[in-house]
Structure 1
């Protein structure tokens, strides 16, 4: 991913939090030199000093069969994004787009059944534990779990390279930066408001 120096993110804690928050990613591999992709809920874990992205897909999805021959897979995590009008600047310029994203590269391997069960347990805890009637692994019947496990394949990707970008108008002057935030809040899209909040957080962190 091309990342100008203004926008490159290197803080590992920030990157981990971004992945955790924007964990519905796109897994990309190749089959006979043709790129293929699957949209999946994913998690990030560490085993000692090594970090892994984990997930699962349908057994009928042929993509998991590419893991054995693929040297690397790519996972893309996309954050909020929004159009930035150059009418919001003090001086004449062209429009652009603000966004946040992380690319993860690594080798994918298939999870054992026990590893898959553990990963699914953690996945349910993440998305269900705060609910009034949480659907947790231990609450589901063994018959249902046995049936569902036969229909999926779990995997983990050992992270070997990370590219992270926060393109949030860091190259603009202070007046432009503040006006962009103001104008984004005037927009009627959730993405625009999320980008404005991300710009505010970056401003607070840098100051």
Structure 2
């Protein structure tokens, strides 16, 4: 009997140890495990950056948002309005929208911060996330203004979300001026 208790105690201790070792899923894995992958949109700048589009069949934005936030609390969560809600996690933006082709379904767009920084039309975030928060998340000073100018120079070819592009997105022709802007430049005597 003592041997059984010791064995059970060791098993419980091992399980708790594994749980405490950071064996957790990130939001991308949780979404990929639960929802159907519908499409992938590649970045016009870096082929390693992408937005993956999943479908939550028969689920409302509220259903999906509640489930995701119960699994992992986002760093930022917008209010839901006009059939859209944005959740921001570490290195990942999750945009929930009603599927215009199937109104009973919710599209879940999972984009890396690199994809967002280099491809999104800044107006996509109006009323959802303040630009100063985006500047911090994307590690670009004045991202909204700089990206808006880049989008204008490219004839408005910036990404406006999956419902607008449906896989036809090709990207702006003008390279971003803020790539690699996360480090401060300057040499000796620049006062930085």
Higher relative contact order (CA 8 A, sep 6+): 1
Q: Identify the TM-score tier after normalising by the shorter chain.
A: under 0.3
- Going by fraction, where is strand more abundant, 1 or 2? 1
Q: TM-score, normalised by structure 2?
A: 0.25
